[in-house]
């Protein structure tokens, strides 16, 4: 039997919590004892205008259910103001869910500087500014749980979303480093890759799918990632329709691009071994940058020592054909 996951004494900041996924995160955390800052600028889905209504309605919902919440109407670009609201109202910040977002879909040719900049400002810079402002508080209390919101549009690309997919993949990079910098202070940072029915996906997702993709089904996954019992740090979790999985990067075995350390690399040699360079049949996930550089040192060592077997192992084909 598992005990109920509670958030008593925890303060959570949920950005873009006036609607969609953020609203569900805020409602769930508050229903389980967290004090919640409901941040929402209240503009249009393309980032125009502002209104206090979106945040106010969710704060009212939380209070009506007996929970504790305050509204914050700042843009996430002013991250320090958002976090200041938490400190003023509740004296701390334990959980930060970077969720606020907008869309300005255009093909690459039609994307204006403003379409590019605003999408990057809200998603990427906004998540950075809120994280940066929350970090000193989390370090001091030796505890923090941070979520970055990515998208399959970033992981796989999506026609007409150059600005959005770049920002969403940027958030994966931001999460990677946040996870490393926070680790020694028990500050964990994980990525959620959601697919949900919201005003953002209305008219984009097929009707049948849209109706099954309730944001409510993703909130428990994000809530678990934000709980003190969750040990994940630096994970990417995709979730939708009451299903979730971990996603990660993979690196192939690779191939050496020259017969000996004295040789140079030529485009012809690269062409010759390309099928080995791109062979993913022995691909592995690397846990850290040190493993990537470590394996390079190994390749160089083997080449230097003329360790035929070890080098052969990485470029059997090349050495036979081209020496």
Residues catalogued as catalytic: 164
CB of 205 to ligand NAI, least distance (A): 7
CB of 264 to ligand NAI, least distance (A): 45
Q: Choose which of 29, 36, 62, 99 interacts with ligand NAI (CB under 6 A).
A: 99
Q: Choose which of 67, 101, 170, 234 interacts with ligand NAI (CB under 6 A).
A: 101
Residue 105 lies near ligand NAI (rule: CB under 6 A): no
CB 314 within 8 A of CB 299: yes
Q: How would you classify residue 132: left for phi > 0, otherwise alpha for psi between -120 and 50, otherwise beta? A: alpha
Q: Which is nearer to ligand NAI, 198 or 302 (CB)?
A: 198
Nearest-angstrom CA–CA distance, 174 and 126: 11
The DSSP string of 217-253 is: GTHHHHHHHTSTT----S-EEEEETTEEEEE---B--
Please, what sign has the CA dihedral across residues 47, 48, 50, 53? negative
Torsion angle, alpha carbons of 89, 90, 94, 98, to 10: -20
Residue 239 lies near ligand NAI (rule: CB under 6 A): no
DSSP 8-state code for residue 264 = P
Q: What order of strands is seen across the sheet that includes strand 11-14?
A: 68-72, 35-39, 11-14, 95-98, 144-149, 187-194, 236-240, 243-247
Q: Choose which of 20, 170, 182, 254 interacts with ligand NAI (CB under 6 A).
A: 20
Q: Choose which of 67, 75, 137, 254 interacts with ligand NAI (CB under 6 A).
A: 75
User: Which single residue brings its beta carbon nearest to ligand NAI?
Assistant: 20
- Binding span for ligand NAI by CB under 6 A among 28-36, 41-49, 108-116, 315-323: 41-49
245, β-bridge pairs: 238
Which 3 state secondary structure label does DSSP give 88?
helix
**C-alpha radius of gyration, the chain, whole number:** 23
Please, what sign has the CA dihedral across residues 300, 302, 308, 310? negative
Q: Choose which of 34, 95, 122, 318 interacts with ligand NAI (CB under 6 A).
A: 122
Q: Which is nearer to ligand NAI, 22 or 170 (CB)?
A: 22
CB of 231 to ligand NAI, least distance (A): 24
Q: Choose which of 10, 11, 14, 16 interacts with ligand NAI (CB under 6 A).
A: 16
Q: Which is nearer to ligand NAI, 76 or 303 (CB)?
A: 76
Residue 42 lies near ligand NAI (rule: CB under 6 A): yes
Residue 171 lies near ligand NAI (rule: CB under 6 A): no
Residue 115 lies near ligand NAI (rule: CB under 6 A): no
Binding site for ligand NAI (CB under 6 A): 15-16, 18-22, 39-43, 45, 47, 54, 75-77, 99-102, 122, 126, 149, 151, 194-196, 198-201
């Amino acid at each position: 039997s598992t005990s109920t996951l509670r958030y008593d004494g925890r303060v959570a900041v949920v950005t873009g919590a006036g609607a969609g996924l953020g609203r569900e995160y805020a409602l769930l955390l508050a229903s389980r004892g967290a004090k919640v800052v409901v941040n929402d600028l209240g503009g249009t889905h393309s980032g125009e205008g502002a209104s206090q209504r979106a945040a106010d309605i969710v704060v009212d919902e939380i209070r009506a259910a007996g929970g504790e919440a305050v509204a914050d109407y700042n843009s996430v670009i002013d991250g320090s103001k958002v976090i200041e609201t938490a400190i003023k109202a509740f004296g701390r910040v334990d959980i930060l869910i970077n969720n606020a977002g907008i869309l300005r879909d255009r093909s690459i040719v039609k994307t204006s500087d403003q379409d590019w900049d605003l999408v990057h400002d809200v998603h990427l810079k906004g998540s950075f500014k809120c994280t940066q402002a929350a970090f000193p508080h989390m370090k001091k209390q030796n505890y923090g749980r941070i979520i970055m919101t990515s998208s399959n549009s970033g992981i796989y690309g999506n026609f007409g979303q150059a600005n959005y997919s770049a920002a969403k993949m940027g958030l994966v990079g931001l999460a990677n480093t946040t996870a490393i910098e926070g680790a020694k202070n028990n500050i964990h940072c994980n990525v959620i890759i959601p697919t949900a029915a919201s005003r953002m996906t209305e008219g984009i997702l097929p009707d049948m799918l849209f109706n099954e993709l309730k944001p409510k089904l993703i909130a428990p996954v994000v809530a678990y990632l934000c709980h003190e019992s969750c040990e994940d740090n630096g994970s990417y979790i995709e979730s939708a329709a009451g299903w979730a999985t971990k996603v990660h990067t993979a690196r192939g075995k690779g191939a050496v691009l020259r017969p000996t350390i004295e040789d140079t690399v030529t485009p012809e040699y690269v062409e010759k071994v390309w099928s080995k360079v791109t062979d993913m049949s022995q691909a592995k996930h690397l846990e850290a940058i040190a493993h990537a550089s470590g394996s390079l040192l190994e390749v160089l060592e083997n080449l230097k020592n003329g360790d035929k077997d070890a080098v052969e192992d990485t470029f059997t084909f090349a050495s036979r054909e081209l020496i």
